Amino acid sequence: MTYRSIALAGALLTMLACGAGSGAALPASSTAGSVSVQPGDLPSGMVKCDLTGSIDSFLAKEKTADPTTYNSTTAEWNSAKDSGATAAYVAFYADSASHCTTIKTSGSQIGTATYKVVVNFVVEFKDVASATKAYTSDSVFGFSVSQFKGGGVPLVDGTATGLTANSLVLSASVASQAFYIAVWQNKTFMVILALLNNDATTGKKVALAENSRIK
């Protein structure tokens, strides 16, 4: 399994049936790491998994722990770099250290998890034009606007999400699982956020907190 099924809500879409203007690079104080989910954004009891870190750190840890995820994510990161990505940060949180271990060694468990999980990819691009194109036209870590919109599930799109003009939010429950997924582009950043088995209010709070850190 790749983490794309969470970034794209691929598992959910299977069960159910998936801007800013262009211009030169903007001076920014934000980094992919500073924008990413922080412990203070989340309810108490959530544990930061040791997979959390830069994309290079994440890949180094997964190379042995979960080679399948390592290979697929490496390919996705190389594709993102071809589209102008310059940095990426990956954040994982779960409701226990043991669940963090499960995620690290078998990413496929995320798609069927009944416990609380947060998965977050923040990608920084070389300029706003590249970030906009990545959101609107490309596939980034498995997320594609066209596939997401074509999945036949209810979405909130654009400024109605409370995020940016280039944003999508999906909030739904399937069987024993609840999904909150937000994907958006703001300035030179593209953010992919998925919360499993947390309520939608928590999901929105986390997304707004992340977006507020993009300067």
pLDDT digits (tens, 9 = 90+) for 168-202: 999 988 877 898 999 999 999 999 999 999 999 99
Band the pLDDT of 36: cuts 50, 70, 90: very high
pLDDT tops 90 at residue 81: yes
Measured over the CA atoms of residue 36, residue 121, residue 147 and residue 200, the dihedral's sign is negative
pLDDT at 107: 63
pLDDT at 150: 84
Highest mean predicted confidence (pLDDT) among 67-71, 80-84, 176-180: 80-84
In angstroms, the Cα distances linking 118 to 124, 126, 176, 192 are: 20, 27, 17, 11
Least confident range from 104-118, 143-157, 162-176: namely: 104-118
pLDDT at 39: 96
pLDDT at 175: 77
- Two tokens, residue 210: 């992340």
More confident call, 147 vs 14: 147
Q: How many CB atoms lie within 10 A of CB 7?
A: 23
User: Could you tell me where the DSSP H helices lie in the chain?
Assistant: 4-7, 10-16, 32-35, 55-65, 67-82, 97-105, 128-136, 145-149, 200-212
Strand-pairing partners, residue 168, are 157, 183
d(CA 6, CA 119): 7
SS3 call for 163:
coil
Q: The whole model's pTM is what?
A: 0.85
d(CA 198, CA 44): 12
Q: What is the pLDDT of residues 86-106, one digit of tens each?
A: 999 999 999 999 999 988 887
- Two tokens, residue 159: 């400024």
User: Could you tell me where the DSSP H helices lie in 36-137?
Assistant: 55-65, 67-82, 97-105, 128-136
